[in-house]
Structure 1
Amino acid sequence: MSADRAVLEAALERGEEEGGNVEFKERLSRDLHLADGRLESLAAQLRHRVLSGDGTATYVVGVTDDGGIAGISPEAFSESMDVLSILAEEAGAHIADAETWGVGDDGTDGEDSGDGIVGVATVEEGAVLDVDEDHIVVGTAGHVDHGKSTLVGSLVTGTADDGEGGTRGFLDVQPHEVERGLSADLSYAVYGFADGEAVHMDNPHRKSDRARVVEESDRLVSFVDTVGHEPWLRTTIRGLVGQRLDYGLLVVAADDGPTKTTREHLGILLAMELPTVVAITKADAVDEERLETVEREVERLLRDVERTPLRVDRHGVEVAVEELGDSVVPILQTSAVTMDGLDDLDAMFRRLPKTATEERADFRMYVDRTYSITGVGAVASGTVNSGSVEAGDELLLGPMSDGSFREVEVRSIEMHHHRVDRAKAGRIVGIALKGVDEAEIERGMALLPADADPTPVRSFEAEVMVLNHPTRIRDGYEPVVHLETVGEAAIFRPEGGQLLPGDTGTATVEFKFRPYLVEEGQRFVFREGQSKGVGTVMEVGDGESGGSTGAEDGE
């Protein structure tokens, strides 16, 4: 019996007692258990179990009243968790964790059986997480091996690095990333503050530890850690454009200094109008003279893009927080090994206001990742752009490749491995969906209210600025456009026939293969080889326009 399975066995052994904190349920259904009168009585029962367990109750789902393993379908278990979540909210509690195991069709449990599942849900006292509006989201950027992930790893754990990038392992999610020491996809991390003191993760690989930080903090700082290696610049752009970020954190290693990638990432941060902080990392690896030289190089780099550098060691954290904005970029010297400068970063993140403003009231989220969970089903992950979403909400997902939108239902919502009943704008969440398979969900699709009347967009008019191009952009130029979480080949048709490096002008942009949800005012980045630029959507067409795939590339 595995350690995880011991949780189930222990709950079954304890059994239901009048004064105990264990409750057996074969299943919970919306139609039966949320009917008039049942909700109140079941919520009272749940409250009794929680109080009997000194703030924690254990619900075993998929078993009979006497503890016999029955097993239920993944769909039935998911519905049971939805109902249990509603009961918990009614009782002033929340689901803190849930685990499932396969059972055989003969009623005996089996490790790999797909005939049914039984689960254990831990219910804890206290309302479901509702982080205040001070929750900020920070996107990191910078050249490969300049210490982004290591710095963030030390920040969220409060632990010094071993000099070998050990703390970066708290963020990487793919085995080959850990093996190679390079991040190849976006990673996420969180820490927080309670009464002005940092709340760190003890073991970031443990879901319950991340959930603890979220629960204990009255202010959260979430990091979207991007990729520094040139082959994955597309992923970095996705992280900086496709997330609802409040601030950018650009790192520059003291033993290397600003590079071409540093300049590209800075350009993207500023093009997306993100207030940005520069952290000079690895300060312990060089002498004072070298550190001063790199700091001057960073200052020149900022002045080249018409930004005013502000040294935090000279002016202090309070001034940096007050001045940080469109024109001022604070600079700090840091070391994840000695922890120098991390206190200043803590102090800044504790004080910085939220900047991502909500421009609309209705719910909207662009899908960044998809995955499937046994007993839950298809999950779409991303950052809530606007509005809020609750378990049980009916939504539209799309557009599909043919321009249609699919009706789906929210089974459950998870934020930083913490199950919640509601998520608001700015939250990075995973939303389990009913009515769609995981294989049908694609990055770049959007989730929006069921009563919305969305128009799939194949082409739009945009104001674009060419940041870099070897010659000129002509009619038929085909870069990749990064808009929200969309990353799609598109055909450019500049007004006047061409755009030169440094030019700002108008162009028609047409997605090459399929439509997306695009709205006026959205900003985007486009890239093809060494060519890069930014743009703003001015006017949208519809999903029926365009369709050409044979336009010749620009020079």
Structure 2
Amino acid sequence: MLEPSANMPWFKGWKVTRKDGNASGITLLEALDCILPTPPTDKPLRLPLQDIYKIGGIGTVPVGRMETGVLKPGMVVTFAPVNVTTEVKSVEIHHEALNDALPGDNVGFNVKNVSVKDVCRDNVAGDSKNDPPMEAAGFTAQVIILNHPGQISAGYAPVLDCHTAHIACKFAELKEKIDRRSGKSFSGYPPLGCFAVLLSFIISLLKLQYILWNKSPIKAPLLFFLKMLFIYS
């Protein structure tokens, strides 16, 4: 199970063929290690933008890593929080055209009638017809404190790193101190639910518990007011 054995001379090993690369081995442990996780293609599209390019003869090309869902040419996507909606003309990976992009792919996609000034890094693209992304007015999160030189209290204002976003935030309320093994998980969009809080170094890791969506057309202020759950080891 864990290492090759002379007690099974008849067993020559296992082999699997797949487009992501062939795999082979002898032990059960090796076989388990080669099982690929199922990509979350059944969830709504979420694609945080890493950069936006203007390419002559093509137009505006946002670039980012697919987190959930599927991106296809012809889809109508919405960028949050700027609330810009447009149609996807083409999808590419390293200048190779794709019929669809899946979670884990680093893609560039050409969009219609959108200027490079209309969207920016840290925006999130989603399917406008299937649970489009919205701006969050605030959220409740579990926080694991890794290292901090002083006392943390309500009103504390660090910098929040969430995927490609880098923005100031504010702790509105510290609800309680709890054991790190307790609390519910954020399962709606797992890849988008983890982020880091920075001072001049990483001071904590966070896991979303509850989101308060901002459905108002008025943009939220730069400082997000957060309710946080602190988790100490």
Q: Same fold (TM over 0.5)?
A: yes
Shift of residue 466, structure 1, vs aligned partner: 0.7
Structure 1 pair 321–471 and aligned structure 2 pair: CA distance change class (3 A): farther
How many angstroms apart in 2 are the aligned matches of 1:360 and 1:368? 23
Q: For residues 298-447 of structure 1, what are the structure 2 equivalents within 5 Å? A: 321=30, 352-355=34-37, 357-358=39-40, 360-400=42-82, 405-447=83-125
Counterpart for residue 539 of structure 1: 210
Shift of residue 319, structure 1, vs aligned partner: 7.3
Q: Which string of whole-angstrom CA distances, capped at 9 and with x for unpartnered residues, describes residues 487-544 of structure 1?
A: 22211234258x7xx98599xxxxxxxxxxxx66511111111342111111111336
Counterpart for residue 144 of structure 2: 465
Shift of residue 478, structure 1, vs aligned partner: 1.9
The answer as to 2:169 corresponding to 1:490 is yes
Q: For residues 278-317 of structure 1, what are the structure 2 equivalents within 5 Å? A: none
Structure 1 pair 493–377 and aligned structure 2 pair: CA distance change class (3 A): same
The answer as to 2:211 corresponding to 1:529 is no
Counterpart for residue 455 of structure 1: 134
Contact 1:464 1:534 in 2 (8 A): yes
Q: Which string of whole-angstrom CA distances, capped at 9 and with x for unpartnered residues, describes residues 371-430 of structure 1?
A: 111111111111222221221222112211xxxx11111111111221223222222110
Structure 1 pair 496–460 and aligned structure 2 pair: CA distance change class (3 A): closer
Q: For residues 46-57 of structure 1, what are the structure 2 equivalents within 5 Å? A: none
Q: TM-score by structure 1 length? A: 0.31
Counterpart for residue 20 of structure 2: 219
SS in 1 for 2:117: helix
Shift of residue 440, structure 1, vs aligned partner: 2.1
Structure 1 pair 435–550 and aligned structure 2 pair: CA distance change class (3 A): closer
Q: For residues 261-272 of structure 1, what are the structure 2 equivalents within 5 Å? A: none
SS in 2 for 1:358: coil
Structure 1 pair 219–505 and aligned structure 2 pair: CA distance change class (3 A): closer
Structure 1 pair 550–495 and aligned structure 2 pair: CA distance change class (3 A): closer
Amino acid at match of 1:472: Q
Structure 1 pair 453–393 and aligned structure 2 pair: CA distance change class (3 A): closer
Structure 1 pair 503–474 and aligned structure 2 pair: CA distance change class (3 A): farther
Structure 1 pair 415–453 and aligned structure 2 pair: CA distance change class (3 A): closer
Contact 2:86 2:114 in 1 (8 A): yes
Larger Rg: 1 or 2? 1
SS in 2 for 1:361: coil
How many angstroms apart in 1 are the aligned matches of 2:41 and 2:110? 25
Contact 1:470 1:530 in 2 (8 A): no
SS in 1 for 2:66: strand
Counterpart for residue 231 of structure 1: none
How many angstroms apart in 1 are the aligned matches of 2:147 and 2:87? 44
More helix by share: 1
Contact 2:141 2:207 in 1 (8 A): yes
Structure 1 pair 361–546 and aligned structure 2 pair: CA distance change class (3 A): closer
Give 4+ residue runs of structure 1 displaced > 6 Å after superposition. Answer: none
State the number of aligned residues: 196
Q: TM-score by structure 2 length? A: 0.70
Q: For residues 113-152 of structure 1, what are the structure 2 equivalents within 5 Å? A: none
Structure 1 pair 389–548 and aligned structure 2 pair: CA distance change class (3 A): closer
Identity %: 21
More strand by share: 2
RMSD (CA atoms): 3.4
Contact 1:478 1:528 in 2 (8 A): no
Q: Which string of whole-angstrom CA distances, capped at 9 and with x for unpartnered residues, describes residues 229-286 of structure 1?
A: xxxxxxxxxxxxxxxxxxxxxxxxxxxxxxxxxxxxxxxxxxxxxxxxxxxxxxxxxx
How many angstroms apart in 1 are the aligned matches of 2:166 and 2:60? 21
SS in 2 for 1:390: coil
Contact 1:361 1:386 in 2 (8 A): yes
Shift of residue 436, structure 1, vs aligned partner: 0.8
Shift of residue 548, structure 1, vs aligned partner: 7.4
Amino acid at match of 1:412: S
Contact 2:64 2:108 in 1 (8 A): yes
Structure 1 pair 317–368 and aligned structure 2 pair: CA distance change class (3 A): farther
How many angstroms apart in 2 are the aligned matches of 1:458 and 1:431? 28
Shift of residue 364, structure 1, vs aligned partner: 2.3
